[in-house]
Amino acid sequence: MSTSSAGERTGQQHLAHVVFIAGAAAVGGFLFGYDSSNINGAVLGIQRHFDVGEAITGLTVSSALIGSAVGAWFGGVLSRRAGRIRTMKLAAILFFVSAIGAMFPFSVWDLAIWRVVGGVAIGVASVIGPAYIAEVAPPAYRGRLASLQQLAIVLGIGSSALVNWFIKDSSPIGADGTHDINGMLGGVEAWQWMLGAAAVPAVIYFVLASIIPESPHYLVSMGRFDQARAVLAQVEGDGADADAKLADIRRELSTERRPAIRDILGGKLGLLPIVWIGIALAAFQQFVGINVIFYYSDTLWHSVGQNTDSLLISMVSPTINIIGTLIAIAFIDRIGRKPLLLIGSVGMAIGLGVAAIAFGNAVTVDGALRLPGVWGPVALVFANVFVLSFALSWGVILWVLLGEMFPLRIREAALAVGTAANWVANWIVTVSFPSMGAWNLSVTYWIYAAFAVLSIPFVLKFIKETKGTAIEDVR
């Protein structure tokens, strides 16, 4: 065997090891997607079981997002003090406890509380995943490896849709001849299994978090230099100078104080300009209404007459989401973050605009909305044009940029603020959609389309390209 062949095999093994480490960390993203969207299939069952209307439904579905904002806010502090790995394990435990609690609620209110607990875990995972991957990934692969977080999120969303459909398909037949998610299945109603199933990936996350190495940045901050050097040798490869990388980290950490909110204060509006850009980036990602598709699609398509199997129809969007994410992973380190954002914004505006026109043609039949003629298929197609455009751009790039756009001296605090802003914006959209959709579905989608259009000049003016830049060099 030639020396070059042996070196190539070693390089492939090293890359596979790095991908495994990043992928294991990204399982938190899988639970992020799974736990936040498994409520989709259960919404109608919850409404019927507890006899609640749109406003209470919106509060119950969105309650997880309140916890997510809290988890995102404190996730950085936890990871700095306890370490990245212990923080992942804590998130896994919270995911598990939330799933079991939500499966056996006594009322809609304690269901909401268990959703908040799960939301805290989601928020922690949304912070720790991108930060950990950014710290262990070699710069040449960082964009693609950081994209594993979003790939895991969309796989979680898709898996929850598949599991929900399987559970519904296994539920008893109701009086109307369709499967009844309020029917008893193994001693509890089918929708309860939909919520409890999240316990399985939570256990897997805990196990994987137990076998991957601690972040070298955290190890250096704790003075554990030999361990940090060993981890750097693992992730940078035998040909890399682990001592030089270690020196870079030590030098950067020696010049920074412990991150605090005061570090991001400044400027005319109270925060540093780069922090406001991160907040706006996070808010735009949610104000286009993406999570309406993933939290309410079963209810949405049922409400406009696509009810032959609205939950099965809902599986189309997660599948397209996965395809779009794979496209983003393939191109993010080739053409860069900014061009993909712009492509996605244009596609989202078109998809949302046409969907809004389709919903504007809805008619009321026997007190229920229906999309006549071709408008039903048109709404489905362009809603998924929107999903594809989002997935290949904003869905991935937000988390990549939040992990790499801030200077290291403020990155932890700025990442926490940006992620918390994302969850607050998510909560606003999620809690408002049931009432807004019932008021005027077309206008609601026009509002989302307007944010997609506004995101274009925002990206052109404020977003800087970070492709290929080492996070220690971001200023």
Is the CB of residue 309 less than 8 Å from the CB of residue 380? no
Beta bridge partners of 173: 179
Answer yes or no: is 243 within a domain.
no
Q: Which residue has the higher pLDDT, 62 or 92?
A: 92
CB 272 within 8 A of CB 410: yes
Residue 177 neighbours by CB distance under 10 Å: 7
Q: What confidence score (pLDDT) does residue 299 get?
A: 56
Q: 264-303: per-residue pLDDT in tens?
A: 777 667 788 889 999 999 999 999 998 887 666 665 665 5
Maximum distance among all alpha carbons in the chain? 76
Apex CA 427: angle with CA 84 and CA 78, to 5°?
A: 15
Within-domain flag for 354: yes
Instruction: Output the DSSP codes for 238-277.
Output: TTS-HHHHHHHHHHHHHT-PPP-GGGGB-STTSB-HHHHH
Pairing of strands 363-365, 184-185: unpaired
Stronger pLDDT, 10 or 461, i.e. the higher one: 461
CA angle, 397 as apex, 391 and 402 as ends, to 5°?
140
Containing structural domain, residue 303? 10-212+256-473
Residue 367 domain flag: yes
- pLDDT for the residue 238: 59
Does residue 391 carry a pLDDT above 50? yes
Report the pLDDT value the prediction gives residue 7, as an integer from 0 to 100.
46
- 227 located within any domain: no
* % the chain with pLDDT above 70: 86
Q: Is residue 456 part of a domain?
A: yes
Residue 223 maps to a domain: no
On whether residue 119 sits in a domain, the answer given is yes
Q: What local confidence, expressed as pLDDT, does residue 314 receive?
A: 61
Name the domain count of the chain: 1
Is residue 403 over pLDDT 80?
no
Question: pTM for the full model?
Answer: 0.74
Please tell me the predicted confidence (pLDDT) of residue 134: 81
In a domain, 231, yes or no: no
Residue 62, token pair as written in the block: 């969105």
| 409-413 mean pLDDT | 77
- pLDDT at residue 270 in the model: 79
Q: For residue 161, give the CATH number of its domain.
A: 1.20.1250.20
Output the CA–CA distances (angstroms, integers) from residue 161 to 166, 297, 402, in the order listed.
9, 10, 28
Most confident range, picked from 197-201, 288-292, 327-331: 197-201
